[in-house]
Copies of this chain bind each other. A is one copy, B any other.
């Protein structure tokens, strides 16, 4: 076993058994190098492993700190139905049920919310998903939701609508109307679209540099979930499609499948 592996294992153990409690600062790399009687780069290699595992957090100029295990936010598809039901409520009851809540699964009042809209031509992937011609103008909506407590974003969302369809209600083209009371499903209702079903497709990949920064993930190690959410209207057309980027260490998905009973049971 290599020295750096042995050192990493030792520190990992100390974190696991509480010798190094969450929030505690590790000794400086020069001190650790003395303690373990190795060179500084070797210590750094060990510490990089722990960072990749999400166990420690490094802060330039301050030190390395044991990370508190992140509380996972549970995301279930029940809220799709919940949001759909709320669409029919009067306006004042719909307040606080914005796209934020639909796309993050959170219902907190204390969120910082950022939205910006663009018009972009459909690339091949979007064209396939919407069953439209490549180059068709799309309304691209970028959302970033941040808890007031933390600096890190909870999710990054890229949402797409066919521009000419959205334009049937000009209010939908104006980002300053966000967060929209009632969320995307209510927005769709204003242009005559009712959703039939929503498909979630979940993959994982390493975060891009800017995603890592915005989500408060140390660049190496922790992955992000990419949730591709496809909303299909009762007419069979894709009404909205969004990519939700979620931090891999703070997210949990849960889906329940109910099975048909055996006939002779």
Residues of chain A having any CB pair with chain B under 8 Å: 49, 52-54, 72, 77, 80-81, 84-85, 87-88, 194-206, 220-223, 225, 234, 248-249, 251-262, 264-265
Contact = CB atoms under 8 A, between A and B. Distances in A.
A108 to B, nearest CB: 22
B199 A252 contact: no
Nearest to A194: B265
Contact of A257 (B81, B223, B261): B81
B81 A256 contact: no
A81 B265 CA distance: 15
25 contacts: A49-B220, A52-B52, A52-B221, A53-B206, A54-B205, A81-B257, A85-B260, A194-B262, A195-B259, A196-B259, A196-B261, A197-B256, A198-B256, A198-B257, A199-B254, A199-B255, A200-B257, A202-B255, A203-B251, A203-B253, A204-B225, A206-B221, A222-B223, A223-B223, A253-B253
A260 to B, nearest CB: 6
Nearest to A256: B199
Contacts of A257: 77, 80-81, 197-200
Given A77-B255, A198-B257, A72 B262 contact: no
A85 to B, nearest CB: 8
Integer count of this chain's copies in the complex: 2
A248 B265 contact: no
Contacts of A249: 204-205
A239 to B, nearest CB: 12
Nearest to A49: B220
Given A80-B257, A81-B260, A220-B52, A248 B196 contact: no
- 9 closest A-B pairs by beta carbon, nearest first, are A223-B223, A77-B257, A204-B248, A202-B253, A255-B255, A199-B256, A197-B258, A201-B254, A200-B255
Contact of A194 (B49, B221, B261): B261
Contacts of A265: 194, 234
A102 to B, nearest CB: 12
